[in-house]
């Protein structure tokens, strides 16, 4: 393949060139939220977009570096703030870097009994070591949270493992702020 580039608008926190857009709505994240019943009802009434992932097409092979931008909308489901599904990498040796571009969010990571949380904003570069599950949450009530991800071409996704073991910490709306709730 040939070299290429993408343009990022840092003012707006947007990837201007992308090959594919994945849209996740409330109906897509029902099994991942604490109150799945509330999510089902919300999805029936108004199936809002929770997040979008803008991706560049790169071969999903060792040696390549996949990169994409995630835009998480503001909102909550029965108080649980809008978030990504969260995953382990299918290839568990794969690390990842998240770079904050706009808004404010939390990066929640889990490995065995350990949980780590990094608050992210524009300019935060967070390192997710191999074997740590990761999920991001928008903690702003009125602004998107946008970050860029860089990860190995063959990282893959294991959503099922995290869904089955469950995540230990939920991020709930608390007035204009948020609170961490241990499960
Ligand atoms: C890739 C990665 C991110 C997420 C994206 C959406 O390894 O961590 O690009 O894929 O933020 O989150 P999920 O994949 O959990 O729906
Ligand atoms: Zn990942």
The residue behind tokens 């992210």 is 120
pLDDT tens, 73-131? Answer: 999 999 999 999 999 999 999 999 999 999 999 999 999 999 999 999 999 999 999 99
Query: Sign of the C-alpha dihedral, residues 170, 167, 139, 54?
Result: negative
Neighbours of 142 (CB within 10 A): 7
Distance of CA 141 to the CA centre of its chain: 17
Does the pTM surpass 0.95? The reply is yes
Question: What pLDDT does residue 11 have?
Answer: 84
Mean local confidence (pLDDT), 125-148: 97
Distance set, CA 35 to CA 44, 77, 105, 174 (Å): 15, 7, 21, 16
Distance CA 171, CA 51 (A): 16
Neighbours of 63 (CB within 10 A): 8
Measured from the CA of 149, which atom of ligand 1 is nearest?
Answer: 9
How far away, in angstroms, is 144 Cα from ligand 1 center?
A: 16
pLDDT at 26 over 90: yes
Ion ligand 2 contact residues with beta carbon within 5 A? 96
The residue behind tokens 């949980």 is 115
| DSSP per position, 132-171 | -EEEEEE--SSS-EEEEEEEETT---BHHHHHHH--SEEE
Q: Indicate which residue's Cα is closest to atom 3 of ligand 1.
A: 149
- Strands of the sheet containing 133-138, edge to edge, are 114-120, 105-111, 133-138
């Amino acid at each position: 393949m040939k070299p290429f580039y993408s343009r990022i608008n840092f003012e707006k926190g947007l990837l201007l060139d992308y090959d594919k857009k994945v849209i996740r709505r409330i109906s897509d994240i029902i099994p991942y939220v604490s109150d799945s019943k509330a999510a089902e009802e919300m999805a029936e009434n108004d199936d809002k977009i929770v997040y979008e992932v803008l991706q560049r097409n790169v071969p999903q092979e060792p040696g390549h570096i996949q990169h994409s931008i995630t835009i998480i909308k503001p909102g909550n489901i029965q108080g649980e703030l809008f978030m990504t599904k969260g995953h382990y990498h299918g290839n568990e040796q794969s690390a990842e870097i998240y770079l904050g571009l706009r808004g404010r969010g939390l990066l929640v990571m889990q490995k065995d009994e350990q949980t780590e949380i990094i608050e992210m904003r524009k300019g935060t570069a967070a390192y997710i070591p191999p074997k740590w599950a990761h999920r991001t949450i928008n903690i702003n009530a009125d602004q998107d949270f946008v970050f860029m991800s860089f990860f190995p071409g063959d990282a893959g996704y294991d959503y099922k493992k995290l869904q089955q073991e469950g995540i230990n910490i939920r991020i709930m709306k608390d007035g204009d702020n948020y609170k961490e709730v241990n499960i």
